[in-house]
Chain A
């Protein structure tokens, strides 16, 4: 019900007067209602709760975080800080 991971919209259609979409989670495809994300387009990522998409993930914001981390990592390397010695855990996309 509540552990939402991002999924990609691969199809948009209508059912009983509601805007619906097919959402791909790395190969597993589920349907979701898109009424609360009226601007969403095929190819964008969303978070689904209880069968409803609740947001359009903002790629620009995600890239900003990502770039900041890349900078952090290269600054650390330049300063000679050892990295990557410890894995924080298995990446379990099903969790």
Chain B
């Protein structure tokens, strides 16, 4: 078992497509929440393969895309200061701030370093006691355990020169925000398999019941996605709205408890601005009071930051599934992965970037 090619078998994919064809009697709109799934859907042409009556809406599940502009601008301001080493996951480098991005700070001589793990940022702080090392803690519940462990490690090592800009976001409140938005079109969700690997899926059960939407926890390979869609469609056609787990090889209902315990020890739930969407209550994580010393936004008093979004970019509407990237007048013209206007065109997980990469130019 290699867990890859077994889940990409074209024979089985065809069988799922036939079963979908047989199951669908009415038009349905299903949202995949996770940017990784959006990417796979575009890569394998799944929207073209499934019955015409089914529309896949792409959700806000790209943490790079929803990181608020104010925190990007703060990151850029801090990274430009002397005696700061700014550390970040690679996908944040080219996310446009109001004026520039982290990559241009690096080009102008700022010490901006890409790390693979937040523990690397802690090691850099240990090796550079005369520098302030700041880590940009972005992501959904999948990166929160890693970023929490970095704070815990820094505290254990007694490091006074390590801090984080915490921009962690949570998925369930975003689903509720989408479902309660005026004009919501989503009738069923594919929930993100790796977020649920960490958190389990009990948090989704009240959402499925309250809003009468089927939610299927789904993996990332083509057969996972096709099976996830089929399970949602069967529920919709039968008038059921439950939480089902398609991704059983990685996800248990209670999730990964040691990871959840670490998240709770280091972070607390806070309201969070989502770029392009606005504030969603209880949808973010900030540091617990005991760890305020590691909060870069407290450590570097930057005052109020005036943000400015490009007027033409419709990434907010794309992130909520209201519009497709191709509805944007700038898509593929002044906005490309090389010259992104909005975050959805920067990140590997952004819907605009996935469309640009895999769309037939005709």
Contact of A93 among B4, B10, B18, B119 (CB under 8 A): B4
Q: How far is the CB of B94 from chain A (nearest CB, A)?
A: 14
Contact of B43 among A37, A62, A84, A95 (CB under 8 A): A95
Q: How far is the CB of B19 from chain A (nearest CB, A)?
A: 9
Q: In the complex the two chains form, what is the Cα distance from A27 to B3 in whole Å?
A: 15
Question: Is there contact, CB below 8 Å, between A17 and B156?
Answer: yes
Given contacts A1-B139, A36-B145, A61-B248, contact A49 B11 (CB under 8 A): no
Residue interface bits A1-43, CB-to-B below 8 A is 1, else 0: 1111110000000001110000000100010110111100000
Residue of A nearest to B14 (CB): A83
Question: Is there contact, CB below 8 Å, between A2 and B142?
Answer: yes
Question: Is there contact, CB below 8 Å, between B118 and A51?
Answer: yes
Q: How far is the CB of B257 from chain A (nearest CB, A)?
A: 9
CB contacts under 8 Å to B, within A47-74, are 47, 49-52, 54-55, 57-59, 61-66, 69, 72-73
Q: How far is the CB of B5 from chain A (nearest CB, A)?
A: 6
Q: In the complex the two chains form, what is the Cα distance from A85 to B63 in whole Å?
A: 37
A80 proximal to B (CB < 8 A): no
Question: Which B residues are in CB contact (< 8 Å) with A50?
Answer: 89, 116-118, 139, 142-143, 146-147
B179 proximal to A (CB < 8 A): no
CB contacts under 8 Å to A, within B197-233, are 197-198, 220, 222-223
Number of A-B contacts (CB under 8 A): 162
Question: Which B residues are in CB contact (< 8 Å) with A64?
Answer: 248
Question: Is there contact, CB below 8 Å, between B139 and A57?
Answer: no
CB contacts under 8 Å to A, within B135-150, are 138-140, 142-143, 145-147, 149
The contact size tier of chain A is 35 or more
Question: Which B residues are in CB contact (< 8 Å) with A62?
Answer: 1, 3, 6, 249
Main secondary structure of the interface of B (DSSP, over half): helix
Question: Is there contact, CB below 8 Å, between A69 and B12?
Answer: yes
Contact of B5 among A45, A69, A81, A91 (CB under 8 A): A91
B308 proximal to A (CB < 8 A): no
Question: Is there contact, CB below 8 Å, between B4 and A51?
Answer: no
B46 proximal to A (CB < 8 A): yes
Question: Which B residues are in CB contact (< 8 Å) with A36?
Answer: 145, 256, 258-259, 262
Q: How many residues of B contact A (CB 8 A)?
A: 63
Residue of A nearest to B142 (CB): A49
Question: Which A residues are in CB contact (< 8 Å) with B259?
Answer: 36, 52, 54
Q: In the complex the two chains form, what is the Cα distance from A79 to B103 in whole Å?
A: 58
Question: Is there contact, CB below 8 Å, between A59 and B15?
Answer: no
Question: Is there contact, CB below 8 Å, between B43 and A92?
Answer: yes
Q: In the complex the two chains form, what is the Cα distance from A45 to B15 in whole Å?
A: 28
Q: How far is the CB of B247 from chain A (nearest CB, A)?
A: 9
Question: Which A residues are in CB contact (< 8 Å) with B64?
Answer: 1
Question: Which A residues are in CB contact (< 8 Å) with B44?
Answer: 88-89
Question: Which B residues are in CB contact (< 8 Å) with A1?
Answer: 63-64, 89-91, 138-139, 143
Q: In the complex the two chains form, what is the Cα distance from A55 to B255 in whole Å?
A: 9
Q: In the complex the two chains form, what is the Cα distance from A35 to B259 in whole Å?
A: 9
Name which of B146, B220, B251, B348 has the most chain A CB atoms within 10 A of its CB. B146
Question: Is there contact, CB below 8 Å, between B10 and A88?
Answer: yes
Question: Which B residues are in CB contact (< 8 Å) with A89?
Answer: 43-45, 222
Residue interface bits B61-102, CB-to-A below 8 A is 1, else 0: 001100000000000000000000000011100000000000
Question: Is there contact, CB below 8 Å, between A61 and B11?
Answer: no
- Give 20 new A-B contacts, CB below 8 A, not counting A65-B248, A88-B46: A1-B143, A5-B4, A6-B2, A18-B153, A36-B259, A37-B256, A45-B3, A49-B139, A49-B143, A50-B142, A50-B143, A51-B116, A51-B118, A55-B197, A62-B1, A62-B6, A65-B249, A72-B12, A73-B12, A76-B18
Q: List 10 A-B contacts (CB under 8 A).
A: A16-B157, A18-B119, A35-B149, A38-B258, A58-B248, A62-B249, A64-B248, A81-B15, A87-B10, A89-B44
| 10 smallest beta-carbon distances between A and B, as pairs | A51-B117, A50-B146, A89-B44, A6-B3, A52-B146, A62-B249, A61-B248, A61-B249, A1-B89, A50-B143
Residues of A participating in the B interface, judged by any CB pair closer than 8 Å: 1-6, 16-18, 26, 30, 32-33, 35-38, 45, 47, 49-52, 54-55, 57-59, 61-66, 69, 72-73, 76, 81, 83-89, 91-93, 95
